Amino acid sequence: MAGKIALKQLTRSDLTFFQHQHEVLQAGHQKSINLNQDVFVGALFPALPDTPEGRSGYLGMDLVLLGPGIHTALRLQRKIVKRSTYKNWRLNGELVPKAAAGARFDPLQPGDFVVFDFSGNVFPTAARLLFVAAAVPEDATLHGILAERLGSRKMIPLDSSELGSLIDAAALPDSHPALEFTLGEAIEDAALGGVAGVERLFRRRSGTTMDQEALQRARLRAEAVGREGEALIDGWLALQARQGVIRSHRWVSDLNAVAPYDFSVEDAAGNTIRLDVKSTAGPFERTLHISMAELQEMADAGRRYDLYRVYALEAGTARLRIAEDMAGFADSLLHTFSELPEGVTPDGVSISPAVLLFGPEIEIRLPEDEED
DNA sequence: TATGGAGGTAAGGATCCACC
DNA sequence: GGTGGATCCTTACCTCCATA
């Protein structure tokens, strides 16, 4: 996940977000977690006040709650609101009921931590929340490290690499949900069949039931991202056709899921180009995977085959870089594979985008009527 | 040191819903 | 329909801190 990350120390009133603490702490009627202005808007979403969503003061939100300690993810729908009279945005809506959460959040006390990982570039559309409680033995080391990092401040932004370093330093047990933050890229890679991701997970994790759940979530997410990326390119190509940049296009994989390419495009000169879309919500550099069938199709010298790298993908927006005419590259790989012993055939390859010749970045932002 | 902005807390009003 | 409790939302006020 290419998230915007923040670390916050929980106050008494923040903990009223949970039914148990709301009853026990008697910390007022507020049922929300305060999102400090300087971090939530200033550091993470500076353009938010200028968006219709920001002006509406209402952001619907899918939440995945992780921790404290070792628990499976709890999914909820809540909202982040800011009325005109509010000073801060607040994660609000409804407290987390005991019926849904059991006793897992009961150990949380004022002074404990929550790590927010928001999805969304301009405004948040979803978030993962990792709760870290001093009273939970599995969290104790990480709690100390986060306390030292936060110092006297109440809420700070973090980048993913720094969060990864903090979590690594805590030497958490293999099944701790915080590892989803450091191993998210590896999980996505493994879900797509990447060898590097599998190796990294194998080194760090021990195949618990939580791993299966995380992997399944990553697989479903990767599929959804792939589909969303193709839909976005479909809309973008339609726009290109209307502007006369291309004559027409056809979304082939929408009709035939096993097709070795995603789109067939007729350019302005009437040439047919096949193209495959590789999408990620993460950064451009994330490893991409090409199947053997796609490689063979690429190597067909009679027709141009382009690779579309869609990244930083989120609702209706993404960035795109295009590697044109992959035939030579695919041909060289297939030549290498021909040296393998008879009866041995690779299923596909994992490729760092750095080894391909990509064109400049194109920002894709479709008008609302182009989405879907 | 004064001031203003932001964070945290708590009081009270509005609304919903179960029960009679 | 009336009543009362639970829940949710709004707002006021206190405290802290950065800045001039």
Residues A87-109: tens digit of each pLDDT? 567 777 566 766 667 778 888 87
Q: What confidence score (pLDDT) does residue A371 get?
A: 43
Q: Which residues in chain A come in under a pLDDT of 50?
A: 1-2, 205-210, 370-372
Question: CB less than 7 Å from strand B: which protein residues?
Answer: A 9, 11-14, 26-30, 34, 36-39, 87-88, 110, 154-155
pLDDT at A208: 40
Q: What is the pLDDT of residue A22?
A: 67
Going edge to edge, which strands form the sheet with A272-279? A246-251, A263-267, A272-279, A304-314, A317-323, A362-365
Which strand B nucleotides have any atom less than 7 A from protein CB atoms?
6-13
Question: For B5, which residue's CA is nearest its C1'?
Answer: A87
Q: CA-CA distance, A188 to A171, in Å (whole number)?
A: 22
Q: Which nucleotides of C are covered by protein (CB under 7 A)?
A: 7-13, 17
Query: For the domain bounded by A4-170, which CATH number is listed?
Result: 2.40.330
Q: Tell me, what's the pLDDT at A67? A: 85
Residue A179 amino acid letter: L
Strands A272-279 and A304-314: parallel
**Who's near A131: CB < 8 A, 6+ residues apart?**
A65, A66, A67, A68, A105, A108, A112, A113, A114
Which of A 137-156 have CB under 7 A of nucleic chain C? Answer: 152
Q: How far lies A235's CA from each of A39, A144, A250, A316, A368, in Å?
A: 34, 48, 11, 10, 10
pLDDT at site A212? 61
pLDDT of residue A160: 74
User: Å between A86 CA and B2 C1'?
Assistant: 26
Cα distances (angstroms) measured from residue A11 to each of A14, A93, A128, A312, A334: 5, 18, 19, 33, 59
Distance A164 CA to B18 C1' (A): 49
pLDDT in tens, A204-217: 544 443 456 666 66
Cβ of A161 near strand C (under 7 Å)? The reply is no
A26 touches strand C (CB under 7 A): no
Spell out the domain ranges in chain A. 4-170, 227-365
Please give the CATH topology (third level) of the domain spanning A227-365.
Trna Endonuclease; Chain: A, domain 1 (3.40.1350)
C12 C1': nearest CA residue: A85
Q: Measuring from the CA of residue A42 to each C1' atom, give the nucleotide at the shortest distance.
A: B6
